[in-house]
């Protein structure tokens, strides 16, 4: 089996360009890292994708460095997906990304643009939200940013953040670390110790905040009703 880490960059679509399906963003870059069955990196992939609606958003340009000039001669969505599918190749594949936003972008844009390729279904059936998996491995209550995960792993971020290939490369390194239990425990020991200490110091209310918030709200409502009832009795 091969393992492929994917990262996407998207451009915001202005309202006047949106259709009835309300596609809010378009794919502008695909980055991916191929790993073998032992999670050794064997290849990488990068392609810009030309958006169909409008021009590059100024905020996205500042964030990613992707300008209109970089995407003007790039393949459109369908051509880019066909090329990416060819790079993925046949055979059993597990796909990963940092959160579920990337697979959702593939799904929504493929539907919106009537892309007929079967790769989307293959991804849906074999997709891992590695951000969630990493959170569980550390025993954290909340998801964390990729840059924080890289720092926690005592690993220096390679390349520029918010560029698809660099993000995929760095996420792949965290994935590779997580698949080596002995090394993972050694490298992540300071973080694991901190999480363990925080757990011991937590109260039941800390560990179940939503439950106790609902409980307190119900208790306050009950107290208010009793107070109102007592006032009514006094008035009588």
Is the confidence at residue 234, as pLDDT, over 80?
no
Nearest Cα to 59, choosing from 104, 105, 14, 107?
A: 14
**174 and 210 both lie in a single domain:** no
One domain for residues 136 and 219: no
**Residues spanned by the domain of 115:** 2-193
Higher-pLDDT residue of 210 and 8 is: 8
State pTM to two decimals. 0.78
- Three-class SS of residue 2? strand
**pLDDT by residue (tens digit) across 75-100?**
999 999 999 999 999 999 999 999 89
Q: Which of 47, 118, 45 is nearest to 80 (CA)?
A: 47
Domain CATH number, residue 173: 3.30.420.10
**Does 148 fall in a domain?**
yes
How would you classify the pairing of strands 41-48 and 93-97? Answer: unpaired
Burial of 171 (0-12, 13-18, 19+ CB in 10 A): buried
CA end-to-end span of the chain: 78
Q: What is the DSSP string of 139-206?
A: T-SS---HHHHHHHTT-PPPS-TT-HHHHHHHHHHHHHHHT-HHHHHHHTHHHHHHHHHHHHH--HHH
Neighbours of 157 (CB within 10 A): 16
Residue 199 lies in a domain: no
What does the pLDDT average to over 109-130?
94
Taking only the tens place, the pLDDT of each residue in 185-194 is 888 777 767 6
Average pLDDT, the chain: 83
The pLDDT > 90 percentage for the chain reads: 53
Q: How many CB atoms lie within 10 A of CB 209?
A: 10
* Same domain, yes or no: 163 and 228: no
Looking at the 3D structure of the chain, how many domains does it have? 2
């Amino acid at each position: 089996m091969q393992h492929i880490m994917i990262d996407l960059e998207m451009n915001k679509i202005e309202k006047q360009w949106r259709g009835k399906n309300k596609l809010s963003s378009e794919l502008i870059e695909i980055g991916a890292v191929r790993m073998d069955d032992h999670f050794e990196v064997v290849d990488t992939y990068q392609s810009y994708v030309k958006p169909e609606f409008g021009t590059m958003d100024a905020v996205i340009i500042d964030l990613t460095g992707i300008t209109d000039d970089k995407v003007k001669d790039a393949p459109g969505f369908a051509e880019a997906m066909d090329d990416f599918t060819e790079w993925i190749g046949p055979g059993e594949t597990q796909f990963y990304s940092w959160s579920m936003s990337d697979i959702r972008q593939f799904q929504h844009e493929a539907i919106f643009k009537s892309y007929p390729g079967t790769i989307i279904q293959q991804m849906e059936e074999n997709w891992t939200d590695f951000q969630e998996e990493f959170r569980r491995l550390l025993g954290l209550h909340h998801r964390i940013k990729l840059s924080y995960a890289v720092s926690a792993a005592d690993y220096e971020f390679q390349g520029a953040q918010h560029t698809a290939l660099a993000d995929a490369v760095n996420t792949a390194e965290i994935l590779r670390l997580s698949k080596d239990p002995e090394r993972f425990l050694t490298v992540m020991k300071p973080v694991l110790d901190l999480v363990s200490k925080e757990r011991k110091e937590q109260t039941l209310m800390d560990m179940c905040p939503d439950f106790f918030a609902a409980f307190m709200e119900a208790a306050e409502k009950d107290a208010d009703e009793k107070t109102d009832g007592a006032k009514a009795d006094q008035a009588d």
